[in-house]
Structure formats: C-alpha cells, structure tokens
Amino acid sequence: MAVNYKKCPKCGSKNSVKIVYGMPSFKLFQEAEAGKVKLGGCCIIEGGPEYHCKDCNNEWNREQVLDIAYGQIRGLKASVGGYFGGYYHVTNY
Ligand SMILES: [Zn+2]
C-alpha cells in the first residue's frame, strides 16, 4: 500500500519539506534557503520529526504516518466485519 509520508497528518497539506539532520553541505544549505528542505540541526534525534508542514508548522516522522494509516485500515476492516456479522445473524433466523 502506498503511504504518502510527505502529506501532513494534521491538515492534509502536501506543502511539506523533509527535515535533514547533520552538518549541511553547501548544496543542502542552498536548498534550505530555497525552502526545499528544513535543516534539523547537527544532532540526529531518535524518533524525531522527519517532515515539516509549511502550512501549519506541524512536524512528524514516518512512524506516525504509518500509525495513522494502519489505524484507518483497522477501522475499515471492523466495519466490513460488522456488516458480515449482521448478514449471518439475519440468515440464521
Ligand atoms: Zn499541516
């Protein structure tokens, strides 16, 4: 399944940039100046945000996107199961 990591989980905007950690190269610095990436600083934070939303300033990482995506799948399966459960209930009568 395709997960769009760059889509903001808060406002749904795709106007987001990747947060790059570590010492930026000159090229990376120029990209940051142009608003293509966001510099996260020289220290890599475990479980820290990987994307920054330019619309609502929300920051998130891929793990959070997957959590939300799998949560939606679980919700879908529950409603399908409920439908079939109701179906069998009716045929038993
Ligand atoms: Zn956003």
Centre of ligand 1 from the C-alpha of residue 89, in Å: 44
Q: How far is the CA of 63 from the centre of ligand 1 (A)?
A: 17
* pLDDT of amino acid 93: 47
36 DSSP 8-state letter: S
Ligand 1 center to residue 5 CA distance, Å?
12
Per run of 10 residues, the mean pLDDT along the chain (length 93 residues) is 88 96 93 96 85 97 90 72 48 45
Distance from residue 38's CA to the centre of ligand 1 (Å): 15
Structure confidence at residue 79 (pLDDT) = 62
> Strand pairing partners for 1?
none
Residue 74: what pLDDT? 77
**What was the pLDDT predicted at 1?**
59
- What local confidence, expressed as pLDDT, does residue 49 receive? 94
Q: Pinpoint the alpha helices (H) of the chain.
A: 26-33, 62-91
What is the structure's pLDDT at 65?
93
